[in-house]
A and B are shown apart, each in its own frame.
Chain A
């Protein structure tokens, strides 16, 4: 069965960086993409970006350009999301999710989420 298992909760100070991991299993990692989505407390879903599991191509949300980097390690079927220069409004649950192609990109399976708290 498809599983995406994320790393544990993080507490960071403003200005620091965080790197969240997402280990995939139950499918061929390089045949799908990985998207990252975050959700601030009590708020809606915010799409952060997408990375191809095949060739590592990326698309990032415009408001995060320059602060976010998404990578993959195909040898371990793991995706990573690094966010730099953290601010208090980056406090959120961060989700990784699998992307499949059905004539268009569709997010189907989600990780359990990683809470990142930014506080001085």
Chain B
């Protein structure tokens, strides 16, 4: 299976900060990379697919980049509703895998 490693595992940030989360694949996955946001007690929500395509309805402060093995999710100006856990996921092979998650907490 392809392993997905996110960093950091958690971070503390303030409203208005720029936040960057990285996701590294154990082998090249081209751009077959999706990002999800999950709030406590809720189902995940799709933010970005194909590494950089913003899902309809997702605020433009979210952006994604990368290809091959290294990917980033950036929140340009952190808002109160953005405090959550973020997961990357690869669908390059028939066996999909998620990263372990990055928890974004209030500083």
Q: Chain A interface (Cβ within 8 Å of chain B)?
A: 35, 37, 44-47, 50, 59, 61-62, 95, 97, 102-108, 110-113
Chain A residues contacting B100 (CB-CB under 8 Å) are: 44
> Would you call A102 and B43 a contact (CB within 8 A)?
no
B87 closest partner in A (C-beta): A45
A102 lies within 8 A of B53 (CB): yes
Does B34 reach chain A (CB closer than 8 Å)? yes
A115 and B26 alpha carbons, distance in the complex (Å)? 31
Q: How many residues of B contact A (CB 8 A)?
A: 26
**How far is A38 from B74 in the complex, measured between Cα atoms in Å?**
26
Query: Looking at chain B's contact residues, is the secondary structure mostly helix, strand, loop, or mixed?
Result: loop
- B46 contacts the other chain (CB 8 A): yes
Residue ranges of B at the interface with A (Cβ–Cβ < 8 Å): 1, 31-32, 34, 36, 38, 43-46, 49-50, 53, 55, 87, 89, 91-92, 94-101
Interface of A is mostly: strand
CB of B43 within 8 A of CB of A47, answer: no
Which residue on chain A has the smallest CB distance to residue B85? A44
Chain A residues with CB below 8 A from B44, complex form? 37, 45, 95, 110
Find chain B residues with CB under 8 A from A62 CB. 1, 95
Write the chain A residue with the least CB distance to B1. A62
Q: Which of A46, A103, A111 contacts B98 (CB 8 A)?
A: A46
